[in-house]
């Protein structure tokens, strides 16, 4: 394809694009997390999975922080063990959070009701939904334009192991390689943690990218100083590339 053909195609894309492209319907996230997500925010109507090693719960709180600061409401189900003091430290506005304690049997009905009205629904690891339940919830979220964040933390017991990833998620974030600082052998105290987050999924996320974060740093979630520049290294793509990829992936 020659240069002017590409230019013509680009102008055609501009002309035929809908008034509100789906990637414009996003909820803002904390600046440090923008690189992890397609379109640099939580795209409405999608489902995210946050799992991996230690740090998954903190990352999920971090994802919820941006929307609450922008005035969105966040509901949380099946997260009996979540430490909301930690969520507040990571930037969640607790005045925009509702916590629902339901029995596993009520999970599907409760999440369906919440997805109707809340911008973000945080599903904790206390309940492992069936595949059909997840797919139904995903369809409902897509229709209502809310974001479902499933947390595959350690669950109720370390013995049971990490939760299985949900099927059909749009974005999958896995926390890896965590290391704590501030604590020694008999001295100091836990101060901050460095983790690597691997982000993958559909719609512009088909290449896994890796982002290093301080989770938490001294002032909430921070990018790692001197981290490799976006776009360099192991298959990482920066935001611009992601958008181009997304154009390719968007159905006609």
Nearer to other proteins, 100 or 245 (CB): 100
Q: Please, what's the largest Cα pairwise distance for the chain?
A: 66
Nearest to 112 by CA among 141, 74, 151, 75: 141
Nearer to other proteins, 95 or 225 (CB): 95
Q: Could you tell me the smallest distance in angstroms from the CB atom of residue 88 to other proteins?
A: 7
Nearer to other proteins, 72 or 236 (CB): 72
Looking at residue 186, the DSSP 8-state letter turns out to be S
Q: Could you tell me the smallest distance in angstroms from the CB atom of residue 116 to other proteins?
A: 6
Tell me the backbone φ, ψ of residue 178, rounded to 5 degrees: -85, 145
Nearer to other proteins, 97 or 246 (CB): 97
Distance between CA atoms of residues 60 and 49, nearest Å:
9
Q: Could you tell me the smallest distance in angstroms from the CB atom of residue 61 to other proteins?
A: 7
Q: Could you tell me the smallest distance in angstroms from the CB atom of residue 63 to other proteins?
A: 13
Q: Which residues bind other proteins (CB under 8 A)?
A: 52-58, 61, 71-73, 75, 80-89, 94-95, 97-103, 106, 109-110, 113-114, 116-119, 153-154, 156-159, 162, 176-180, 183-193, 216
CA dihedral 110, 154, 128, 59 (to 10 degrees): 50
Distance between CA atoms of residues 211 and 33, nearest Å:
9
Q: Could you tell me the smallest distance in angstroms from the CB atom of residue 46 to other proteins?
A: 19
Nearer to other proteins, 17 or 191 (CB): 191
Distance between CA atoms of residues 237 and 242, nearest Å:
7
């Amino acid at each position: 394809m020659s240069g002017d053909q590409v230019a013509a195609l680009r102008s055609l894309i501009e002309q035929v694009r809908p008034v509100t492209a789906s990637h414009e319907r996003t909820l803002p996230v904390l600046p440090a997390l923008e690189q992890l997500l397609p379109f640099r925010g939580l795209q409405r109507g999608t489902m995210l999975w946050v799992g991996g090693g230690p740090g998954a719960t903190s990352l999920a709180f971090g994802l919820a922080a941006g929307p609450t600061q922008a005035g969105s409401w966040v509901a949380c189900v099946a997260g009996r063990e979540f430490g909301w003091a930690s969520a507040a430290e990571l930037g969640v506005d607790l005045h925009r959070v509702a916590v629902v304690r339901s029995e596993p049997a009520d999970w599907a009905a409760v999440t369906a009701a919440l997805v109707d009205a809340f911008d973000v629904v945080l599903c904790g690891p206390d309940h492992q939904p069936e595949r059909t339940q997840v797919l139904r919830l995903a369809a409902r979220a897509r229709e209502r334009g809310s974001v479902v964040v499933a947390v595959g933390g350690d669950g109720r017991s370390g013995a049971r192991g990490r939760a299985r990833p949900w099927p059909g998620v749009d974005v999958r974030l896995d926390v890896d390689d965590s290391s704590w600082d501030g604590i020694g052998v008999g001295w100091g105290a836990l101060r901050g943690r460095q983790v690597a987050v691997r982000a993958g999924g559909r719609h512009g996320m088909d290449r896994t990218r890796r982002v290093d974060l301080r989770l938490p740093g001294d002032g909430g979630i921070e990018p790692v100083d001197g981290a490799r520049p976006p776009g360099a290294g192991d298959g990482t793509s920066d935001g611009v590339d992601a958008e181009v990829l997304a154009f390719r992936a968007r159905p006609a």
